[in-house]
């Protein structure tokens, strides 16, 4: 029997005591506690997402009537969502759990947006048996295409790019190779290719140049496609990542190929069919060089003198930080724009450091820059070093990297990482408003690059 779709009140929904995620539970309260304990931070993230983005209209609850009580329903699919909604309705449910420290922050979020759903759309099945096939299809993976087929890495990145994010050069390269009839396995580890091409020495051996964030080739197309086909095949093998962990490993990896030398008279861009071209007539190398230079050269703007402004960030500086994707960072940016640094230097110093570190983490994530370990576990100076290397490889103006160099190497400078850390951790260190503004100006080219300044 086909299920019926109904809008049901949250009050009428009960957690499944036979939820496959858990052991069998004795009652609804026990099921709630078990889900909170098992999901931990994930349930908080889900609750926050519901508040920020609204409830997902396509995510129907699967339910069945409670035996002997047709006004109550057991949730067969959607127990995590129901738990998150209950927590939003009453954050005090977290009291006595290891998530109790989240209660106040959730209450603040709810206070700003009280438009929580009282009813949700459900598919009502007569019994658990009738729901079995639907549940299996939803939770048992692709099943040769019968179930839900998750996006591969390249599809996730292609989706992000098409939402207006910065073009993904690795995705564009793979799409170009597919157009050239190079087979790309479904499970191809895209990060392996990214790791390999992140090394300038490897790119040079392959005849690949990185300019303006895009790949260009200085060898014949046929040679490039042949080399990349072999690389794709090798990188797709199990354990391939162990062959390219270090720069010497990567150089040794490509040295096994029969690589032709670069040709100074050739420079072309591997672009997939249908990709938008930066310039309709950008066919000659000189035109491409002009285009690249335009990409790297920022329009000049008058910057208010540090002496003349009372805010950390000059009013001419305008960044488009998406509030939906980075709500906290967007709020910090807005606060820094309004904070009189001469009156509140301590607050400004701490917010400045937080803004710097979060901006760097987002840039590393958005650009898919390889890191030796989880970015959250790295020190600020390590993250800055990674970004410095990345920007240098991208052809970033060396003069504009000076602020990063000072932050990394000169521990006594007002822009150094030591100074930033002292703002937060040294109780005897007092930030100076003028020094803070100077430090901001020194790092301005970095922030402009991260946030694609709006001139």
The string of pLDDT tens digits covering residues 294-324 is 333 344 445 555 556 788 888 888 887 875 5
Q: Kindly give, in sequence order, each residue whose CB lies less than 8 Å from that of residue 65, ignoring residues fewer than 6 positions away.
A: 72, 73, 74, 124, 126
pLDDT of residue 91: 92
pLDDT of residue 309: 79
pLDDT of residue 307: 57
Instruction: Quickly count helices (H) and strands (E) in the chain.
Output: 18, 7
pLDDT of residue 166: 62
Q: Is 370 exposed, middle or buried (0-12, 13-18, 19+ CB in 10 A)?
A: middle
Establish if 435 belongs to a structural domain.
yes
Q: Are 160 and 286 within one domain?
A: yes
Establish if 309 belongs to a structural domain.
no
Q: Residue-wise over 397-425: b if at least 16 C-beta within 10 A, else e?
A: eeebbebbebbbeeeebbbbbebbebbee
Establish if 305 belongs to a structural domain.
no
Establish if 213 belongs to a structural domain.
yes
Total domains in the fold of the chain:
3
pLDDT of residue 290: 32
Q: Pull the structure tokens for residue 166.
A: 């910065």
Selection from 383, 390, 374 nearest residue 407 by Cα = 383
Collapsing DSSP to helix, strand or coil, 348 comes out as helix
**Chosen domain end from 91, 113, 145:** 145
pLDDT of residue 151: 66
pLDDT of residue 294: 33
Low-confidence ranges of the chain (pLDDT < 50): 279-301, 454-455
pLDDT of residue 88: 92
Establish if 315 belongs to a structural domain.
no
C-beta of residue 112 within 8 angstroms of C-beta of residue 161 = no
Q: Give the range of the structural domain holding residue 399, as residue numbers without chain letter.
A: 327-451
The CA distance from 290 to 296, in Å, is 10
Find the DSSP H helices in 98-198.
Answer: 103-112, 128-139, 153-162, 169-179, 190-197
pLDDT (tens digit per residue) in 87-106: 999 999 999 888 888 888 88
Establish if 169 belongs to a structural domain.
yes
Collapsing DSSP to helix, strand or coil, 186 comes out as coil
Q: Cα–chain-centroid distance for residue 134?
A: 32
Establish if 308 belongs to a structural domain.
no
Q: Are 157 and 236 within one domain?
A: yes
Q: Are 53 and 29 within one domain?
A: yes
Q: How many Cα atoms within 13 Å fall on the side-chain side of residue 36?
A: 24
C-beta of residue 360 within 8 angstroms of C-beta of residue 390 = no
Pairing of strands 61-66, 214-217: unpaired
pLDDT of residue 37: 92
In degrees, rounded to 5, the angle at the alpha carbon of residue 41 between the alpha carbons of residues 373 and 92 is 155
Selection from 264, 254, 154 nearest residue 203 by Cα = 254
pLDDT of residue 286: 35
């Amino acid at each position: 029997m086909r299920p019926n779709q109904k809008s049901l009140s949250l009050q009428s929904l009960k957690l499944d005591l036979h939820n496959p995620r858990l052991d069998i539970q004795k009652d609804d309260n026990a099921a709630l506690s078990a889900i909170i304990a098992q999901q931990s931070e994930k349930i908080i993230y889900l609750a926050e997402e519901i508040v920020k983005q609204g409830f997902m209209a396509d995510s129907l609850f699967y339910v069945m009537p409670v035996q002997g009580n047709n006004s109550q329903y057991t949730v067969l699919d959607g127990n995590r969502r129901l738990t998150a909604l209950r927590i939003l309705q009453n954050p005090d449910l977290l009291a006595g759990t290891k998530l109790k420290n989240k209660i106040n922050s959730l209450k603040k979020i709810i206070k700003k947006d009280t438009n929580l759903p009282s009813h949700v759309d459900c598919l009502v099945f007569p019994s658990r048996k009738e729901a079995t096939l639907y549940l299996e299809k939803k939770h048992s993976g692709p099943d040769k295409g019968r179930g839900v087929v998750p996006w591969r890495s390249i599809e996730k990145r292609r989706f992000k790019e098409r939402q207006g994010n910065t073009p993904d050069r690795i995705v564009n390269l793979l799409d170009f190779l597919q157009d050239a009839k190079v087979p790309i396995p479904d499970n191809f580890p895209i990060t392996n290719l990214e790791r390999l091409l992140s090394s300038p020495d490897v790119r040079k051996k392959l005849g690949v140049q990185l300019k303006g964030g895009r790949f260009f080739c200085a060898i014949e197309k046929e040679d490039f496609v042949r080399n990349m086909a072999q690389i794709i095949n090798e990188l797709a093998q199990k354990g391939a990542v162990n062959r390219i962990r270090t720069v010497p490993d990567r150089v040794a990896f490509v040295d096994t190929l029969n690589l032709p030398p670069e040709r100074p008279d050739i420079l072309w861009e591997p672009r997939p069919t249908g990709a938008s071209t930066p310039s309709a007539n950008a066919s000659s190398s000189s035109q491409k060089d002009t285009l690249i230079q335009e990409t790297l050269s920022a329009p000049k703007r008058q910057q208010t003198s540090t002496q003349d402004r009372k805010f950390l960030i000059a009013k001419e500086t305008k960044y488009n930080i998406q509030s939906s994707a980075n709500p906290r960072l967007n709020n910090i940016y807005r606060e820094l724009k309004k904070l009189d640094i001469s009156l509140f230097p301590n607050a400004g110093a701490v917010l400045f450091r937080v803004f710097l570190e979060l901006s760097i983490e987002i840039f590393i994530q958005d650009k898919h820059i390889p890191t030796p370990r989880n970015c959250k576990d790295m020190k600020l100076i390590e993250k800055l070093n990674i970004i410095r290397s990345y920007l240098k490889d991208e052809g970033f103006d060396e003069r504009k990297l000076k602020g990063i160099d000072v932050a990394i190497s000169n521990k006594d400078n007002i822009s150094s990482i030591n100074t930033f850390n002292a703002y937060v951790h040294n109780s005897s260190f007092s930030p100076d408003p003028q020094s803070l503004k100077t430090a901001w100006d020194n790092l301005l080219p970095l922030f402009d690059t991260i946030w694609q300044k709006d001139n």
